[in-house]
């Protein structure tokens, strides 16, 4: 009997892997371990055995049954998986065919390079406790010139080829310095603010000259502010912008609304000051104009220059952007050409 049991088990083991479907499996299961299956039949003949043999056979028969149940379970799962996978295989899609390799027209999306650089500057100044201001592009003479210590007779009015409106009183702001005046109207010292924005100069256009471009004006007014404070601040600022410890130098520069006035240069990052084509062999690159706010400007803004003083600076955002991305022609910035814009894609 025991031998028969082992034969049935052997047969079971040899056949189970060839069962290929769930209905076949149900049949197979019934054949072996069903109520009328071969195992039951064998167990039915147990009563003829001796007590001793009954015990041995019963234990073994139970063991075999448990093994068979487990094997059927395992094989059933495998059959189910095969069936699902066969279905998945049928519905297989080409996952290499992404949008990126498909012609669906323009897919890229992103911000304009000037927006990117302006935001970076704004965030930098915010982190240093500066307010961010905005102001009108169409200005009056007062905010663009007079209040900035540039009276009508001043030759500096020539330096900034101004776009005038026909009333000869209004103009397109030639610098963001009008924000100094507008900022003083809304802030009480001590204060510090910056203002980025579009400015306009009546210049003939070429690859490096635009009639509409962007500046960022900054002003910090408080008590006992000195030129060394300004140098420290601007050096920190530029080092942060260029992500590199910079060397800076001041040289006299003329802006009527500051006194003393300076041009601030930084040591060329490309050649380390030895001279190259980027720095025009000078070793230094012009970064921004700056200076201590002229007492007349403070006074015009209702601030007593004997109590408060401060510094102001202005930097060109377009030039910074062009340097950052090595943009070859300033006219691309306002072109509205997506072939240009999509290079600055976010994704």
Partner 1 sequence: MKISLDWIKDFVELPELSPQEMGVRFTLSTCEVEGVEETNAHMEQVSVVEITKIEAHPEADKLRLVSFETGSGERRVVCGAPNVAPGMKVPFAPIGTTLPGGFTLEPKKIRGVMSEGMLCAEDELGLSDDHAGLMELPADAPVGKSLAEYLELKRDVLLDIDNKSITHRPDLWGHYGMAREFSAAFGKPLAKPFDEAWIEKMRGLYNDETPPVSVTVDEGTACLGFCGLSVDGVSIKSSPVWMQQRLTACGMRPINNIVDISNYVMLELGMPNHIFDRDTVRGGRIIVRDMGKDGTFTTLDEMERKMIAADTMVCDAEGPSSIGGIMGGLTSSVKDETNRVFIEVANWKPERIRHTSTRLGLRTDASQRYEKSLDSHQIERTVLRILELLLESCPEAKVVGSLVSDKVQLKPPLIIDLTLERVNSILGTTLEQSEVIRILESLEYKIDAQGDVMKVTVPSYRATKDVEVDADLIEDVGRIYGFDKLIPLAPHNEITVTSLSPAKIMERRIQDFMVLRGRALEIYSYPLTGARLLEQADWSVMNEGLVLANALSPETDRMRPSLVPSLLEKASLNQKFHSKYRLFELGRSYLENEKNFSEDRHQLGIIYFDKNESPFMDVLNLMGDLLESLSLKAQIQPPNPKFANPVVASDWTGRHPHEFLDVRVMGKICGFIGTIHPLMCSKFKIKGNLVMAVLDMTDFMDRPVKDKTKYKPLPKFPGATFDCTVVAETNTPAADVLGVLKKVKLKELEDVRIVDVYPLSESQKTVTLRSWLLDRDKTLAPDFLKEAENKIVAALDKAGYPLKQG
Residue in 222, 267, 269, 285 binding partner 1, rule: CB under 8 A: 222
When the beta carbons of 57 and 233 are compared against partner 1, the nearer one is 233
Smallest gap, in angstroms, from Cβ of residue 243 to partner 1? 19
Which range in 9-17, 48-56, 153-161, 266-274 contacts partner 1 by CB under 8 A?
153-161
Note whether 164 binds partner 1 by CB under 8 A.
yes
Smallest gap, in angstroms, from Cβ of residue 265 to Zn ion? 11
Give residue for tokens 């471009």: 213
Cβ neighbours of 62 (radius 10 Å): 12
Contacts of 38 (CB under 8 A, 6+ apart): 8, 31, 32
Query: Three-state DSSP class for 220?
Result: strand
Rounded CA separation 105/102 (Å):
9
Residue in 190, 208, 270, 329 binding partner 1, rule: CB under 8 A: 190
First to last CA, the chain: 75
- Under DSSP, the state recorded for 96 is T
Note whether 276 binds Zn ion by CB under 5 A.
yes
Are 126 and 165 in contact by the 8 Å Cβ rule? The answer is no
Give residue for tokens 């040289």: 251
- Total number of residues shown for the chain: 347
Site for partner 1 in 91-110 (CB under 8 A): 103-110
- Under DSSP, the state recorded for 162 is P
Any binding-site annotation on 259? yes
Site for Zn ion in 277-306 (CB under 5 A): 278-279
- Under DSSP, the state recorded for 215 is E
Which range in 24-32, 33-41, 67-75, 224-232 contacts partner 1 by CB under 8 A?
224-232
Rounded CA separation 77/328 (Å):
65
Binding mask 248-287 toward partner 1 (x if CB under 8 A, else -) reads -xxxxxx-x--xxxxx------------------------
Note whether 229 binds partner 1 by CB under 8 A.
yes
Note whether 270 binds Zn ion by CB under 5 A.
yes
Residue in 211, 231, 271, 323 binding Zn ion, rule: CB under 5 A: 271
Note whether 269 binds Zn ion by CB under 5 A.
no
Binding mask 35-74 toward partner 1 (x if CB under 8 A, else -) reads ----------------------------------------
Rounded CA separation 184/191 (Å):
9
Smallest gap, in angstroms, from Cβ of residue 289 to Zn ion? 20
Note whether 119 binds partner 1 by CB under 8 A.
yes
Rounded CA separation 32/12 (Å):
8
Which range in 6-14, 24-32, 178-186, 219-227 contacts partner 1 by CB under 8 A?
219-227
Smallest gap, in angstroms, from Cβ of residue 28 to partner 1? 44
With left for phi above 0 and alpha for psi between -120 and 50, is residue 10 left, alpha or beta? alpha
When the beta carbons of 139 and 265 are compared against Zn ion, the nearer one is 265
Which range in 67-75, 78-86, 90-98, 154-162 contacts partner 1 by CB under 8 A?
154-162
H or E stretch including 6? helix 2-16
Query: Three-state DSSP class for 297?
Result: helix
Are 143 and 174 in contact by the 8 Å Cβ rule? The answer is no
Binding residues, by number, are 259
Which residues of this chain interact with Zn ion, rule CB under 5 A?
268, 270-271, 276, 278-279
């Amino acid at each position: 009997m025991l031998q028969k049991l082992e034969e049935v088990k052997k047969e079971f083991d040899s056949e189970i892997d060839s069962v290929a479907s769930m209905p076949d499996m149900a049949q197979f299961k019934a054949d072996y371990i069903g109520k009328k299956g071969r195992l039951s039949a064998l167990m039915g003949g147990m009563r003829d055995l001796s007590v001793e043999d009954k015990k041995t056979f019963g234990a073994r028969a139970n063991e075999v049954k448990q093994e068979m149940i487990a094997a059927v379970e395992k094989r059933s799962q495998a059959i189910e998986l095969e069936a699902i996978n066969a279905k998945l295989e049928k519905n297989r899609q080409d996952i290499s065919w992404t949008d990126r390799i498909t012609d669906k027209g323009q897919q890229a999306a992103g911000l304009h390079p000037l927006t990117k650089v302006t935001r970076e500057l704004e965030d930098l100044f915010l982190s240093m406790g500066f307010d961010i201001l905005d102001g009108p592009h169409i200005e009056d003479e007062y905010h663009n010139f007079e209040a900035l210590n540039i009276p009508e007779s001043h030759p500096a009015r020539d330096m900034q080829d101004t776009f005038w409106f026909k009333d000869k009183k209004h103009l397109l702001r030639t610098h963001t310095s009008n924000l100094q005046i507008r900022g003083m109207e809304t802030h009480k010292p001590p204060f510090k603010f910056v203002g980025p924005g579009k400015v306009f100069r009546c210049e003939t256009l070429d690859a490096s000259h635009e009639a509409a471009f962007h500046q960022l004006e900054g002003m910090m007014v408080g008590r006992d502010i000195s030129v060394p404070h300004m140098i420290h601040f601007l050096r920190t600022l530029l080092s942060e912008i260029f992500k590199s410890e910079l060397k800076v130098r001041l040289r006299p520069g003329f802006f009527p609304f500051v006194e003393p006035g300076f041009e601030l240069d930084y040591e060329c990052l490309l050649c380390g000051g030895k001279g190259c084509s980027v720095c025009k062999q000078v070793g230094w690159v012009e970064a921004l104009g700056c200076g201590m706010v002229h007492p007349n400007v403070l006074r015009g803004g209702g601030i007593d220059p004997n109590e408060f003083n401060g510094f102001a600076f202005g930097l060109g955002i377009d030039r910074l952007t062009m340097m950052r991305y090595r943009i070859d022609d300033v006219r691309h910035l306002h072109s509205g050409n997506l072939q240009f814009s999509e290079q600055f894609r976010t994704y």
